[in-house]
A = this chain, B = another copy of it.
Amino acid sequence: MDRFKRQILADEKRIYRTDKRRQQKLETRIRILDAALDHFSRRGFEAAAVRDIAADAGVTHAVIRLHFGTKDQLWREAVSQLFARFEQEMADPPEEPTSATPSLAQFIRRYVLYSARHPEHARIMMHESMEPSERLSWMVDTYVIPAHRRVMPALERAVQGRRLPAMSLVSLIYIISSSGQSLFMLGAEAKLIYGIDVAAPETIDQHVAAVLALLRISYGSTVGADRQSEGAIGIA
């Protein structure tokens, strides 16, 4: 269980500290969401089995129905948790205790480090983004478009200010996000081809450096320097 989930758990425990049932229900809920994220990201929505998720969470599959209703609703809850954590960690990254409005380089670094820490994010989006579906439309409308909207102006300024090469902004955002995610998302493949563990700190540092070298940006200009609210910026 990571920092984010522990925080929620602690909050809830404080609120309902007299009610043991609510505590246990919440812990079960978190275990289910955790297992769901793991299965959905590795296998995709259709191939993931509710019974397998339940087994990993230490409950029977009927409990999932009780907590979340349908498999579809479970998926949406899991994706919501995922994006909530994404936005939180991009605004206030674990690796930067005191976080100010990030420079373009810092922002890219945060994004790559997040992708390395949580490869399930890219995986779950990949599985859904390859063919149209209700789930994809919902995820895009609810989370992806807002995230792109937050980061697009900064990228546009960087291109116009010649801090990034001139190119289509759509291509740019797809290149940046896929470059940052790919190595970690495809960890199983990279392990087989190169024998590397993409979760190793050296590998992660190398990849951060590689993406920054490719974009040829350093820790100079700030992203969203003109608006404080853009501190909690995100690409997805």
Contacts and interface: CB of A to CB of B under 8 A. Distances in A.
A207 B168 contact: yes
Contacts of A203: 170
A166 B131 contact: no
A interface, size bucket: 35 or more
A191 B170 CA distance: 11
A132 interface: yes
A178 B171 CA distance: 12
Given A179-B178, A189-B144, A206 B129 contact: no
Interface of A: 41-47, 123, 125-127, 129-132, 136-137, 140-141, 144-145, 148, 165-168, 170-172, 174-175, 177-179, 181-183, 185-186, 188-194, 196, 203, 206-207, 209-211, 213-216
Nearest to A148: B193
A interface, over-half SS: helix
Contact of A177 (B123, B126, B182): B182
Contacts of A178: 178-179, 181-182
Contact of A130 (B126, B170, B174): B126
Given A130-B185, A136-B192, A167-B214, 6 more contacts: A47-B47, A131-B188, A136-B189, A148-B193, A168-B210, A171-B210
A176 to B, nearest CB: 9
A181 B182 CA distance: 11
A148 B189 CA distance: 12
A131 to B, nearest CB: 4
B215 A214 contact: yes
The 7 closest A-B CB pairs, nearest first, are A46-B47, A171-B210, A178-B182, A167-B210, A129-B189, A178-B178, A42-B131
A41 B127 CA distance: 10
